[in-house]
């Protein structure tokens, strides 16, 4: 092989390596952008479900003899959605979101406010398991107090 041919071979091998590296960087960026968008959708869905389920539970608890079995199922779903929120506010996941910068600038306080809601739902869930209507209503009321105060601070619309 002549020197120039060998140089050409080396150059084409290098450029192939380089283009593969660029492709894989681009691919991983696409994946992370997609997962950030997914985070926004997942937390919005979680919040919408919480909103719907807390209304159903509130209505059922207003009944003089609630359907405890159904309440347990609804409450389990709600607490799962509530718990999922702790991991769904990934830094950088703001595009298409209603969350303010403050969610990440003041993340410790934000997470504490989320935990506040979550703890009340966990309390409600154990009261439902014990068929304690009074305690369940109280815990749900507590959880619902956290919605507006957090939205005022951390949600833009
Ligand atoms: C710790 C703060 C916090 C608490 C507590 C909280 N929210 Fe939110 N909520 C947010 C933020 C931030 C968003 C915006 C999410 C986004 O768009 O990325 C939001 C969005 C929503 C949405 C809109 C979802 C959509 O489809 O865009 C609903 C509905 C909602 N919350 C209901 C509730 C209810 C009901 C409660 C109380 C039981 C509650 N939230 C408690 C912070 C909170």
For the stretch 86-133, pLDDT in tens is 999 999 998 889 999 999 999 999 999 999 999 999 999 999 999 999
How many other C-beta atoms can be found within 10 angstroms of the C-beta atom of residue 15? 10
Domain membership of residue 16 (yes or no) is no
16 CA to centre of ligand 1 in angstroms: 47
Q: How far, in Å, from the CA of 61 to the mean position of ligand 1?
A: 23
Residue 99's SS3 state is: strand
144 lines ligand 1 (CB under 6 A): yes
Structure tokens at 86: 């702790």
CB of 114 closer than 6 angstroms to any ligand 1 atom: yes
Q: What is the pLDDT of residue 34?
A: 83
> Cα 89 from chain centroid?
6
Task: Give yes or no for residue 103 CB within 6 A of ligand 1.
Answer: yes
> How many separate domains does the chain show?
1
User: Residue of the nearest CA to atom 18 in ligand 1?
Assistant: 97
Domain holding 67: CATH number? 1.20.120.10
The pLDDT of residue 113 is 97
The pTM (predicted TM-score) of the whole model is 0.84
pLDDT, the chain, mean: 89
54 within some domain: yes
Handedness of CA 7, 8, 10, 14 (dihedral sign): positive
- Residue pair 117/150 in contact (Cβ under 8 Å)? The answer is yes
Find the mean pLDDT for residues 74-79: 98
pLDDT of residue 32: 81
Residue 15 pLDDT greater than 70, yes or no:
no
Task: Copy the structure tokens of residue 20.
Answer: 């593969």
**Which domain, by its residues, includes 125?**
41-154
């Amino acid at each position: 092989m002549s020197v120039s041919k060998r140089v050409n071979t080396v150059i084409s091998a290098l450029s192939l390596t380089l283009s593969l590296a660029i492709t894989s960087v681009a691919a991983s960026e696409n994946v992370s952008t997609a997962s950030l968008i997914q985070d926004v959708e997942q937390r919005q869905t979680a919040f919408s479900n919480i909103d719907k389920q807390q209304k159903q539970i509130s209505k059922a608890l207003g009944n003089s003899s609630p359907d405890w079995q159904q309440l347990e199922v609804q409450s389990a779903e709600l607490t799962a959605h509530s718990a999922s929120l702790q991991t769904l506010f990934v830094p950088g996941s703001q595009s298409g979101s209603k969350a303010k910068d403050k969610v990440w600038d003041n993340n410790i306080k934000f997470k504490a406010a989320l935990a506040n809601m979550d703890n009340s739902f966990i309390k409600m869930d154990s009261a439902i398991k014990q068929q304690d209507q009074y305690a369940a209503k109280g815990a749900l009321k507590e959880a619902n107090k956290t919605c507006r105060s957090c939205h005022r601070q951390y949600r833009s619309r």
